[in-house]
Homo-oligomer: A and B are copies of this chain.
Amino acid sequence: MGIQERKERERERRRQQIIVAAKRVFSEKGFNKATMEDIAKEAELSPGTLYLYFKNKEELYASLSLRILQYLMIRLEHVNAEKNAGAERKLDNLMAAMYDVYDFDPLIIINMFQLQSSETLKNLSDELLTEIQDLSRNSIGAMADIFREGIDQGVFVDKHPVAMADIFWSLFSGVVLWEASKKVINKEKDFLKPTLATAFEVFAQGIKKKK
């Protein structure tokens, strides 16, 4: 391992250290109430160091979303890698993957939406924004492949595969957000998983061709 490579690895370790700290702090306090000093303390680094790895608070924040998307993409590739599985089985696996995504980072998916629907995006570097765009598109694309396959195999109803992917993702994220809201607003307990199960069931019934 060259010295160059070792440094690069060290640098990546630091980035992750910061991201992990940021995740904790943002999750607890939200974007605005979380201060860079909070995050620095959590990461046991100085505020200045954060800026050696992330251009500004917003890019640090966006990096969290990226991490989720990266994880999502990996899981989707796994699902699609199973060549002999039929579309229906892949749909089951897709649903299972979404639970994993949620478990990977239950809170940050909320922040992800805060990010996307906010003015924040405009301050991101083109590089980061492009990366988010690409991953986002690829993820939807990977889901759409499953639906396309199902349509081709005659097991799913004939609708635009990308639209189906959009709807599937919307349903997932909508449920996650709404259940989280209910927890805060109504101080209800967390019913996400059963609700998500029912939601997926309804979706599956809705797209499967009746025999």
Interface size class of A (residues with CB under 8 A): 35 or more
Q: Are B166 and A195 in contact (CB under 8 A)?
A: yes
Query: Given the complex of chains A and B, what is the CA–CA distance between A137 and B116 in angstroms?
Result: 27
Count this chain's copies in the assembly.
4
Q: Are A181 and B117 in contact (CB under 8 A)?
A: yes
Q: Are B167 and A121 in contact (CB under 8 A)?
A: no
Q: Are A117 and B180 in contact (CB under 8 A)?
A: yes
* A136 in contact (CB, < 8 A): yes
Chain B residues, Cβ within 8 Å of A113: 113-114, 117, 177, 181
Q: Are A170 and B174 in contact (CB under 8 A)?
A: yes
Chain B residues, Cβ within 8 Å of A185: 116, 121, 129, 132-133, 136
* A203 in contact (CB, < 8 A): yes
Q: Are A167 and B202 in contact (CB under 8 A)?
A: yes
* A110 in contact (CB, < 8 A): yes
- Beyond A136-B186, A184-B116, A204-B206, whether A170 also contacts B199 by CB under 8 A is yes
Q: Which of A179-211 contact B (CB under 8 A)?
A: 179-182, 184-186, 194-195, 198-199, 201-207, 210
Chain B residues, Cβ within 8 Å of A207: 202, 205-206
With both beta carbons as reference points, the residue of chain B lying nearest to A34 in the complex is identified as: B119
* A104 in contact (CB, < 8 A): no
Chain B residues, Cβ within 8 Å of A178: 166, 169-170, 173-174
| Chain A residues proximal to chain B, CB less than 8 Å | 29-33, 110, 113-114, 116-121, 129, 132-133, 136-137, 157, 159-160, 163-164, 166-167, 169-175, 177-182, 184-186, 194-195, 198-199, 201-207, 210
Given contacts A32-B32, A173-B178, list 19 more A-B pairs with CB under 8 A. A32-B119, A113-B117, A114-B117, A114-B118, A116-B185, A121-B185, A129-B185, A133-B185, A136-B185, A159-B201, A163-B198, A166-B175, A166-B182, A167-B171, A167-B198, A172-B174, A201-B206, A205-B205, A206-B206
